[in-house]
Amino acid sequence: MSPDLTSRQRPWVEYGFAALILAGLAYCAWFLIINGYLPQPFFYEPFDTYADWFNTAFWARDKGTYDVWKTIYPPLSFVFIRIFGIDHCYPERRPFDPSAGLAARDCDWLGLGTLYAIFFINLVLIWITFRRIDRRTAIPRTIAVGLGLPMADGLERGNLVLVSFACLLLAFAPILKRARSRWVAIGLAINFKVYLVAALVPLLAKRRWLWVECGLISAVIVYLVTFAILGRGTPAEIYENIRYFATLPAAQIMDLWYTTTYQPLMSLLEGDTFPFVLLIGSRNVELLQFIIPALQHATQAMIVMAILAVFLRPEVVPSYRVANLGLLLALITSEAGGYTQVYFMLLVMMEPWRGFARKWAISACYILAVPLDIAIDRTPPMARDLYFGDGATIINYHVTLGPFVRPLIIMTIAVALSLVTLREVWKDIREQGWRLRWRFRNDAPLLVGDGAARPAA
Task: Give per-residue pLDDT as tens, 372-383.
Answer: 998 887 878 888
Comparison of pLDDT for 439 and 183, the residue scoring more: 183
Per-residue confidence band for 281, with pLDDT thresholds at 50, 70 and 90: low
Q: Is the pLDDT of residue 440 over 70?
A: no
Per-residue confidence band for 241, with pLDDT thresholds at 50, 70 and 90: confident
- Looking from the CA of 456 toward its CB, the CA atoms found within 13 Å total 13
Query: Which DSSP string corresponds to 76-104?
Result: HHHHHHHHTS-GGGSPPP-S--TTGGGGG
Weakest-pLDDT range from 57-71, 205-219, 432-446: 432-446
User: What pLDDT, on the 0 to 100 scale, is given for residue 381?
Assistant: 84
Per-residue confidence band for 444, with pLDDT thresholds at 50, 70 and 90: very low
Residues facing residue 398 across a β-bridge: 378
pTM comes to 0.90
Per-residue confidence band for 96, with pLDDT thresholds at 50, 70 and 90: low
Per-residue confidence band for 280, with pLDDT thresholds at 50, 70 and 90: low
What does each C-alpha distance from 105 to 77, 156, 192 come to in angstroms? 18, 13, 22
Q: Where in 262-352 does DSSP place strands (E)? A: none
Per-residue confidence band for 49, with pLDDT thresholds at 50, 70 and 90: very high
Helices (H), 193-275: 209-230, 235-246, 263-270
User: What pLDDT, on the 0 to 100 scale, is given for residue 447?
Assistant: 44
Residues facing residue 395 across a β-bridge: 382
Comparison of pLDDT for 29 and 65, the residue scoring more: 29
Of all residues in the chain, the percent with pLDDT exceeding 70 is 86
User: What pLDDT, on the 0 to 100 scale, is given for residue 272?
Assistant: 61
- Residue-wise pLDDT tens digits, 412-422: 999 999 999 99
Weakest-pLDDT range from 3-17, 50-64, 171-185, 221-235: 3-17
DSSP state of 1: -
Asked whether 373 and 400 are in contact (CB, 8 A), the reply is: yes
Q: Is the pLDDT of residue 1 over 60?
A: no
Considering 90-94, 205-209, 256-260, the range whose residues carry the highest mean pLDDT is 205-209
Q: Is the pLDDT of residue 344 over 60?
A: yes
Asked whether 50 and 157 are in contact (CB, 8 A), the reply is: yes
Asked whether 158 and 382 are in contact (CB, 8 A), the reply is: no
Comparison of pLDDT for 67 and 147, the residue scoring more: 147
Amino acid, res. 277: V
Q: Identify which of 422, 428, 402, 457 has the alpha carbon closest to the alpha carbon of residue 174.
A: 457
Of all residues in the chain, the percent with pLDDT exceeding 90 is 56
User: What pLDDT, on the 0 to 100 scale, is given for residue 212?
Assistant: 93
What sign does the CA torsion over 425, 186, 415, 136 have?
negative
Q: Is the pLDDT of residue 209 over 50?
A: yes
Per-residue confidence band for 19, with pLDDT thresholds at 50, 70 and 90: very high
Asked whether 307 and 205 are in contact (CB, 8 A), the reply is: yes
What sign does the CA torsion over 197, 203, 207, 212 have?
negative
DSSP state of 384: E
Asked whether 146 and 339 are in contact (CB, 8 A), the reply is: no
Residue 431 is inside which H or E element, if any?
helix 402-432
Q: Is the pLDDT of residue 454 over 90?
A: no
Weakest-pLDDT range from 25-29, 108-112, 269-273, 451-455: 451-455
Per-residue confidence band for 7, with pLDDT thresholds at 50, 70 and 90: very low
Q: Is the pLDDT of residue 261 over 50?
A: yes
Looking at every residue in the chain, the average pLDDT score rounds to 86
- Tell me the mean pLDDT in the region 244-264: 74
Comparison of pLDDT for 283 and 159, the residue scoring more: 159
- Tell me the mean pLDDT in the region 430-451: 54
Asked whether 93 and 62 are in contact (CB, 8 A), the reply is: yes
Considering 123-137, 228-242, 433-447, the range whose residues carry the highest mean pLDDT is 123-137
